[in-house]
Amino acid sequence: MSTVLELDRRHVWHPYTQHGDAPPPLVISRGSGAYLYDETGREIFDAISSWWVTLHGHAHPAIAAAIARQAAILEQVIFAPFTHEPASELAAALVERLPPGLTRVFFSDDGSTAVEVALKVALQYFTNQGEHRPLVAALDSAYHGDTFGAMSAGARGLFTDPFASHLFEVARLPDPSVDAPGCLAALDRLLDQRGEQVAALIVEPLLLGAGGMRMWDGATLRAMRERTKAAGVLLIADEVLTGFGRTGALFACSAAGVSPDIICLSKGLTGGFLPLGATVTTEAVFEAFRAADRRRAFFHGHSYTANPIACAAALASLALLDQRSADARDRIGHTHGERLARLARCSGVRHCRSLGTVAAFDLAGETGYLSPVGPELAAFALQRGVLLRPLGNVVYLLPPYCATTDDLDRAYNVIEAFLSRSA
């Protein structure tokens, strides 16, 4: 056993891992482009962007150089009484690219904390104006993170059961990927019956990620925007997964022609190099906190808020989201379409679907996150040099934008070989 594995075995607690039966982790020594390399030098195609964060490829030289430059200038400073160039420039760059009306950026550490900020801002927004609106609405099949507010807004189940008694009440709407008319009808009833109590509706626009890569339409999102706006309810868009081109357009809300009141960003924000979250609001939301009364301030923060090195990485990543990146995303989407059409003819494959750079399908048999077919496929693929991490019986590909058609064909060929073996 290598020294790394021995130390890991003794001291490390891995996420989403049952250490009672999990095999030893694979030691990764380096990454380059769309590939990871283990300690023997074997290459592994990263078909899931290392938990959806790696936009442009591993160890991208432009982002690495930006990090090195910033680290030699200013590595960290408290962000309460101070500001700095990378944070202010990043805030302006985000506002320039986001849907119209989103103007104020609050930095945090990751996607879950970006959601926590959004929920707290929404609730305090009304409190600051003398209104009592304690209720948040959210979607069935949603996932917003693993902190307590994010868990409350997410679907209840395996991940949240041990904490159920500690989660706050949420008005739950039907999954729009399954029943869009029913979702809108439920929203209408909620706003009619309890509208004066609802502070916000939080959604993952167009793609419910960890809930099973469930895809829904922009028309339903626009209808939600119209209804919430008319009712004076804030719309929170959780674009932690969907932001920065994953669904094709730079942001899913932009593709749908929707401007939310609050948007949550993370994952690809730094190109996958460093943790960073951002919650961006409208000027109207921000103004509800600006006052001579300090009690109306937003008393929330993180030690590493707007870390200069992370902000520098994000600026470098944003600069890479140019026309070449858009063309690469289009190519990935086209390849998904061609290979999914072929996969759809395979026995046991259900509900092939794609959105931008995301492709997904379901495998017949036991459903849910604990379905054994997911780990079986993951192990089969890893042995053949492809990193997959199915959500139970839901298989997805979500590659970095530098992935070539040959890279994607490699992943799809491994999936087809697994299906042939299982047939």
Please pick, among 267, 362, 401, 412, the residue that the annotation labels catalytic: 267
Considering the chain, what percentage of its residues have pLDDT values greater than 90?
Answer: 97
Distance CA 276, CA 306 (A): 8
Active-site annotation holds for 396: no
Please pick, among 16, 217, 327, 409, the residue that the annotation labels catalytic: 16
How many residues belong to the chain?
423
| pLDDT, tens digit (0-9, with 9 covering 90-100), for 344-384 | 999 999 999 999 999 999 999 899 889 999 999 999 999 99
Lookup: tokens for 257: 């022609």
Of residues 148, 109, 135, the one with CA closest to residue 202: 135
Tell me what the pLDDT averaged over the chain comes to.
97
Q: Taking residues 318-334, what's their average pLDDT? A: 98
Contact 374/390 with Cβ under 8 angstroms?
yes
Q: Taking residues 52-77, what's their average pLDDT? A: 98
The CB density around residue 194, as the number of other CB atoms within 10 Å, is 13
User: How many angstroms from the chain centroid is the CA of residue 92?
Assistant: 22
Whether the predicted model's global pTM rises above the 0.75 cut: yes
**Gyration radius from the chain CA atoms:** 22
Contacts for 31 with CB less than 8 Å, ≥ 6 apart: 37, 46, 58, 59
CA atoms within 13 A on the CB side of 231: 25
| pLDDT, tens digit (0-9, with 9 covering 90-100), for 213-225 | 999 999 999 999 9
For the cut 60, the answer to whether the pLDDT of residue 423 exceeds it is no
User: Which helix (H) or strand (E) is 351 found in, with range?
Assistant: strand 349-355
DSSP 302-371: -TTTT-HHHHHHHHHHHHT-SHHHHHHHHHHHHHHHHHHHHHTTSTTEEEEEEETTEEEEEESSS-STT-
Active-site annotation holds for 229: no
Q: 3-state DSSP call for residue 80?
A: coil
Q: Taking residues 50-77, what's their average pLDDT? A: 98
User: Which CATH number does the domain 64-319 belong to among 3.20.20.70, 3.30.420.40, 3.40.640.10, 3.40.50.1110?
Assistant: 3.40.640.10
Q: Taking residues 324-344, what's their average pLDDT? A: 98
Contact 210/174 with Cβ under 8 angstroms?
no
Q: How many Å is the maximal CA-CA distance in the chain?
A: 69
Q: Taking residues 92-98, what's their average pLDDT? A: 98
Contact 198/137 with Cβ under 8 angstroms?
yes
Contact 121/270 with Cβ under 8 angstroms?
no
Active-site annotation holds for 146: no
pLDDT of residue 1: 60
The pair phi, psi for residue 421, each rounded to 5°, is -65, -35
Considering the chain, what percentage of its residues have pLDDT values greater than 70?
Answer: 99
Contact 361/340 with Cβ under 8 angstroms?
yes
pLDDT of residue 255: 97
Can you say whether the dihedral through the CA atoms of 196, 202, 208, 210 is positive or negative? negative
- Residue spans per domain, the chain: 3-59+323-422, 64-319
For the cut 60, the answer to whether the pLDDT of residue 232 exceeds it is yes
- Superfamily grouping for domain 3-59+323-422: Aspartate Aminotransferase, domain 1 (3.90.1150.10)
Distance CA 144, CA 116 (A): 9
Contact 243/237 with Cβ under 8 angstroms?
no
pLDDT of residue 134: 97
Intra-chain end-to-end CA distance of the chain, in Å: 36
Please pick, among 238, 261, 362, 407, the residue that the annotation labels catalytic: 238
Please pick, among 35, 109, 140, 143, the residue that the annotation labels catalytic: 143
* Location of structure tokens 């028309």: 219
